[in-house]
Chain A
Amino acid sequence: DVKVTQSSRYLVKRTGEKVFLECVQDMDHENMFWYRQDPGLGLRLIYFSYDVKMKEKGDIPEGYSVSREKKERFSLILESASTNQTSMYLCASSPYRGNQPQHFGDGTRLSIL
């Protein structure tokens, strides 16, 4: 069965901290994505990756970076956390071939104090 695992369901960090969110998929998918979800704003794409060591900016990359050293793992990094980065973060993966569904992890609810 399809499985996307996010390392934490809930996380509380302080302003200025460097924060790592980890995501692992077991489906051998080429594409991986990071979104944030906020009330009234829907799902917004932060970064995505279509291959190891490859990354592309999404719609709201400012304040974030990503790392993809292995095919199954995609990390989101908040370089210096700020309170406006408090949100629900969702990781997803999909096969490289087009028109196939994304599969999501359970999400990480991140609070920055």
Chain B
Amino acid sequence: GQQLNQSPQSMFIQEGEDVSMNCTSSSIFNTWLWYKQDPGEGPVLLIALYKAGELTSNGRLTAQFGITRKDSFLNISASIPSDVGIYFCAGPFMPSGTYKYIFGTGTRLKVLA
């Protein structure tokens, strides 16, 4: 079945560093979504991408919709301690007439002060 491969699985970085993570699929997507989940909380939508090649920012976060429509990238600039959490990519797909969502396995980010 379809799956989203997310890398890296985890990363430790120093405060102030930039962070990059990516998500790849074996299938084409028309939308890419990026979420962040804090411990014990639900995922929160960070950025939604709707067009191949699109580059969208949300504060220090920038995400890109890959040209092939099979991948997406998330960058965080000048990381701060509250960036700690798990970042998920996701994409909606329609296997049988109604939309469902497939999620990446997540990138666990830890920021060292």
Which residues of A pack against B, CB within 8 Å? 4, 6, 31, 33, 42-43, 45, 48, 50, 56, 58, 90, 92, 94, 98-107, 109
| Chain A facing B: main interface SS | strand
CB distance from B27 to the nearest CB of A (A): 14
A90 with B90, Cβ < 8 A, contacts A101-B48, A102-B101 known = no
- Measured as residues with beta carbon below 8 angstroms from the partner, the interface class of chain B is 20 to 34
Interfacial chain A residues near B33, Cβ < 8 Å = 101-102
Structural contact, B45 and A101, CB atoms closer than 8 A: yes
Q: Taking A56-B98, A98-B92, A99-B92 as contacts, is the C-beta distance between A90 and B103 under 8 angstroms?
A: no
A4–B94 alpha-carbon span in the complex (Å): 23
Which residues of the other chain, A, contact B41 by a CB distance below 8 angstroms?
106-107
**Residues of chain A contacted by B66 (CB below 8 angstroms):** none
Give bound CA distance, A46 to B31, whole Å. Answer: 23
Q: Which of B35, B92, B101 has the most CB of A within 10 A?
A: B101
Say how far B49's CB is from chain A's closest CB, in angstroms: 10
